[in-house]
A and B are shown apart, each in its own frame.
Chain A
């Protein structure tokens, strides 16, 4: 194999590795056969398998939008309920955490605002548009918390 071809292979392999970076794949090994007794039938006709996270996120987005409308009307508690519903569907749905941080900020509970903000920052890390908003949110929480100090 020529050095150029080797480099090409190498680049492709590196790209593949980088693309797979976020998926968890712990070391694997052979799984011994430990099947349970056959007498136990499956309890349902479906078993959970890989969901399309996109559809969950779409549902979470719809709930979050409704929550935002309520929050704009000053209905903080009902809005929080909808953001929580969004998170119960999609636990890594960053905007849900972001708006819950906003809701806690509106309630002047800065420690909870910070806790939800941290989760928002974690889950929105890959989104540059959201990152800017998250940074601004951080500043607002810090300012509000500082202003509330005696």
Chain B
């Protein structure tokens, strides 16, 4: 009896202890669960993902009449994920290239402030120009201007180097959701984080094959694992995964969990960058937004989740197709597809977009841009906030500038073998910047020959001697009182500078003892330029040049007139914009706007202008620089196929260390510099080294060059003058006549010699105009 009582008591004690233990366990578990929930809440309430900021080019505008470089346009369309097809485009992202045009089903244009649904359009070409833009479904309707979406240029990554594009659950088409559920967790909407049936099935399958063939993890477990756990495979970690899954299910709705999962998971690799989330994956594999995926594409994407690298359509298309078909069949088994749709899905060809790399494009420009962005945002914000950074860069111009610079430098080395250097660090260098002079937009920036060997940006960071490109500021300063026909001396003259004698020399012997201002600038005559500088005063020249915003100190020595000053090439390009833009200087723009991840504008950099000189003076300089291209140091341009109006100036510095060409049209300005970083001599001029590169760029970008003439402002007038060899004749021997431009308040009285030389016809014209200068 006592024994039985003792047993009962022992049992009671045991039960009590067990109950206590269970209660204690429950309390501990509750507390642990609460702690996990706090952890989950904290993680999910804050920023869930680090989204790299994306840098975009400018949009491309197409309109009737636009000249196009078709191969370059096709390359651009390829970069924009348009896939060539041999039938009329039926889906967004398809294009058919025809003899006389292209048919494109445009992607949605989803840049901030501009939203346009994609639609099919026909671009018709004639004689190298866009002849018409019409919607495919209503050919009678003409489109005046068509915007092509910007290209992605770069991403600012964090250390994890993940690409991700967030999508909301309501953006996802049902067939994509069903495909993912069929592939990963078909009972997702009916379990509470753990799928016991799934676990049992996986256990039996794995036991039967004596290997891990099937996982029993639910979508919620996978989400818990990705967000909170390390990849180690231990019992403790598995237990924590289960608890976390239960906690997540308790605190969040199924749709919220699915949305987080689809934005989170790893979907493959693009070079060193991982592709995460369904938004990025849809773009990476099919060049589409998730909502535009077909059934087959959605199933293929869902099939990839299991092992993105094994089932990658790029690595093994057959395996990818088999996996896709498994997913489609699983969808049918779950009654998410009827038999007919399943058949269609199985028959759908697997057509991923052409594989794209994540190249480091436009690296010098991106570095220049990053310098500006770093003043606005901390690097960790750039790497995580998912900003959309819109720039002014035109990839077609950038491509042309990069190609022209590289081929130009190689050509120089082949024509002048002494320019070759053995090591990349010492080889011949060059740099290009292309700008819109009217707006200041930087369309292209190439800071060096090869970014892999040198990241030094010779456009924005190098200070090089400006040489003859700086002469324009002397001539501009002179236009306050003088005109392009003012007489300058070419005589050898010695000047006393700082107690020393200095005698400027011309690059090549020039016989003419005197010449006009126009000729002196066009032929870049040093002696005449210094003569002019002495007449107007160095202080005035210095003040004029300073007005253009050069940050380099400008010492008022006579050699300044010849360009003995180091300048940043970008500042020089910006200064020349003034002449193309009627005296207004634009602020150089690389960054246009920054939008946050929700598309809200947070930084806007509009074009800004500053009056630097009068439109009349800017035009006179342009006109003289046109002479430089037609008859002066830049006349080789015609030989390089440039036959539209261009104003430009060559530059060659002491010992041929720097070779420059700055040329512009009313639409576009490009500066080219060639030289050695160590200051070694080129022994060739700007016209030989830099000008051909300029010409090649222009010929490759017809869409940016209208060929329009420069137009005189209203306060500039023509007036007849004596000429010789195309320049104003200041020798007093009037053999030919031509016209010259003058500011309206500075038209000269006609020289008697001029009038004597005129035909009676010319004199009658003068009489008709009421002028009284009869010889």
Task: Identify B728's interface contact among A27, A58, A85, CB under 8 A.
Answer: A27
Residues of B within 8 A of A48 (CB): 67, 644, 698-699, 701-702, 705-707
- B609 within 8 A of partner (CB): yes
Residues of B within 8 A of A13 (CB): 761, 765
- A4 within 8 A of partner (CB): no
Residues of A within 8 A of B692 (CB): 36, 40
Structural contact, B641 and A122, CB atoms closer than 8 A: no
Structural contact, A43 and B606, CB atoms closer than 8 A: no
Structural contact, A58 and B666, CB atoms closer than 8 A: no
Structural contact, B631 and A52, CB atoms closer than 8 A: no
Within 22-55 of A, Cβ neighbours of B (below 8 Å) are at 22-37, 39-40, 42-55
Residues of B within 8 A of A144 (CB): none
Structural contact, B765 and A42, CB atoms closer than 8 A: no
Structural contact, A22 and B712, CB atoms closer than 8 A: yes
Structural contact, B61 and A89, CB atoms closer than 8 A: yes
Structural contact, A36 and B400, CB atoms closer than 8 A: no
Structural contact, B699 and A43, CB atoms closer than 8 A: yes
- B70 within 8 A of partner (CB): yes
Known: A28-B631, A44-B699, A45-B69. A85 touches B61 (CB 8 A): yes
Q: How far is A75 from B600 in the complex, measured between Cα atoms in Å?
A: 12
Taking the nearest CB of chain A, how far is it from the CB of B323, in angstroms? 44
Structural contact, A115 and B718, CB atoms closer than 8 A: no
- B726 within 8 A of partner (CB): yes
Taking the nearest CB of chain B, how far is it from the CB of A114, in angstroms? 9
Task: Classify the interface of chain B: helix, strand, loop or mixed.
Answer: mixed
Q: How far is A89 from B70 in the complex, measured between Cα atoms in Å?
A: 19
Q: How far is A139 from B389 in the complex, measured between Cα atoms in Å?
A: 37
Residues of B within 8 A of A34 (CB): 635-636, 638-639
Closest to B762 in A: A13
Closest to B625 in A: A26
- A142 within 8 A of partner (CB): no
Structural contact, A43 and B666, CB atoms closer than 8 A: no
- A81 within 8 A of partner (CB): yes
Known: A47-B641, A59-B145. A92 touches B711 (CB 8 A): yes
> Residues of B within 8 Å of A, CB-based: how many?
95
Residues of A within 8 A of B708 (CB): 50-51, 53, 92
> Residues of A within 8 Å of B, CB-based: how many?
68
Known: A36-B692, A48-B698, A81-B593. A27 touches B707 (CB 8 A): no
- B139 within 8 A of partner (CB): no
Structural contact, B696 and A43, CB atoms closer than 8 A: yes
Structural contact, A24 and B623, CB atoms closer than 8 A: yes
Known: A28-B726, A45-B69. A58 touches B144 (CB 8 A): yes
Task: Identify B144's interface contact among A24, A47, A59, A81, CB under 8 A.
Answer: A59
- A56 within 8 A of partner (CB): yes
Closest to A43 in B: B700
Structural contact, B640 and A36, CB atoms closer than 8 A: yes
Q: How far is A109 from B631 in the complex, measured between Cα atoms in Å?
A: 44
Structural contact, A88 and B436, CB atoms closer than 8 A: yes
Closest to A53 in B: B708
CB-based closest 7 A-B pairs:
A29-B726, A55-B65, A46-B128, A48-B705, A59-B63, A91-B438, A78-B113
A-B contact pairs, 25 of them (CB 8 A): A24-B711, A26-B518, A26-B623, A27-B727, A30-B726, A31-B635, A40-B692, A43-B400, A48-B698, A53-B708, A54-B65, A55-B63, A56-B706, A58-B63, A59-B63, A62-B145, A77-B593, A78-B114, A87-B607, A91-B666, A100-B606, A112-B608, A112-B609, A115-B608, A115-B609
Q: A residues within 8 Å of B by Cβ?
A: 6, 9-11, 13-14, 17, 21-37, 39-40, 42-56, 58-59, 61-63, 70, 75, 77-78, 80-81, 84-85, 87-89, 91-92, 100, 103, 112, 115-116, 118-119, 122, 125
